[in-house]
Amino acid sequence: MAKLALCIGINNYPGTDMDLAGCVNDANDWATELASRGFEVTKLIDAQATKAGMVDGFRKVIGAAVRSDVVVITFSGHGTYQYDIDGDEEDDLDEALCPHDIRAIDAALIDDEIHALFKARKDGVHIVLISDSCHSGTVSRAIPRSGDVEAGRAPRFMPMENWMSPEHFAKGGPRGATAPHGSAHVASTPFTDAPQDDAGDVLMAGCEEGEDHFSYDATFMDRPNGAFTFYALKALRTLRSGATYADWHRALKDSLPSTRYPQTPRIQGTETSTGRAIFT
């Protein structure tokens, strides 16, 4: 069984006025931890993590895996929404990850695209996605409150108006997608439409989905990190050999949510997949 990992960290978002501080440290920390556990690790940091670079990275790491191999992909950066392109979202919004060049290319990496990349894997490949970002808010949500910034933390959410051109924002995006009709946000993930079988797919995310849920950019001992990444790695290192993803998620409850970081980590997968031993 081979173990392959892709660790992505983006602090720098040119043209958005929404740079982060702890995402590169997150990627390096995940890479170090995974390498110590026998993974062959590739990293994409800041300018390397363009949308094209991320798509290529996903394709390579997933394409290199064969039956029984484990692929772990970690992402630390902003999450966002984009107008729905193909009409499959009840609220007319696709969830998305923000690449480094999101403002320059006027496009995010949406959940439909990620799902398609995952579906291209060979039979029997187990994928774990660890996302320290958030998909919170609405199309009109404002920039994070100044109080959060002053407190030394910042939600990892980028409103569309911060990266999408005014023309596309007004017209429904670069591909003329459906404009939101004002209904409550219905959250989804890259695994929502995946076959719910024993393939072993697991999503671990820094916060619950939907409005008013955020993953925080934080600082610990004068070093920037994502709150989820910091506590997830701390919990991982305390677990017994053979502990499961469900065990890992339960261990996180000792640290999150907290008064300072009111985020609830999320796990998604079948009972079989979340009951698998971690990274097997």
Whether residue 100 lies inside any domain: the answer is: yes
- Look at the chain and report how many structural domains it folds into: 1
pLDDT value at residue 49: 98
Whether residue 139 lies inside any domain: the answer is: yes
| DSSP state letter for 139 | T
| DSSP state letter for 79 | E
Whether residue 38 lies inside any domain: the answer is: yes
Please say if 213 is a catalytic residue. Answer: no
Whether residue 280 lies inside any domain: the answer is: no
Cα separation of 196 and 273, whole Å? Answer: 9
Cα separation of 83 and 275, whole Å? Answer: 35
**CB neighbour burial string for 67-95, b if at least 16 within 10 angstroms, e if fewer:** eebbbbbbbbbbbbbbbbbeeebebbbbb
Q: Whole-model pTM above 0.95? A: no
pLDDT value at residue 225: 97
pLDDT value at residue 89: 45
What is the domain extent for residue 9? Answer: 3-274
Strands 266-268 and 202-205: antiparallel
Do the beta carbons of residue 50 and residue 99 sit within 8 Å?
yes
pLDDT value at residue 158: 86
Please say if 23 is a catalytic residue. Answer: no
Structure tokens at 191: 């695994």
Q: What is the CATH number of the domain that holds 138?
A: 3.40.50.1460
pLDDT value at residue 170: 64
pLDDT value at residue 265: 93
| DSSP state letter for 244 | B
pLDDT value at residue 20: 95
Do the beta carbons of residue 78 and residue 50 sit within 8 Å?
no
Residues in the chain with pLDDT values less than 50: 87-91, 136-146, 150, 176-198
* 13-53 pLDDT tens trace: 999 999 999 999 999 999 999 999 999 999 999 999 999 99
Whether residue 279 lies inside any domain: the answer is: no
**Hunting for tokens 């390498």 — which residue is that?**
35
pLDDT value at residue 154: 84
pLDDT value at residue 137: 31
Task: Write down the catalytic residue from 78, 100, 168, 249.
Answer: 78
Cα separation of 246 and 270, whole Å? Answer: 10
Neighbouring residues of 141: CB distance < 8 A, sequence distance ≥ 6: 157, 159
* 159-200 pLDDT tens trace: 887 887 777 766 555 554 444 444 444 444 444 444 334 456
Task: Write down the catalytic residue from 7, 23, 98, 134.
Answer: 134
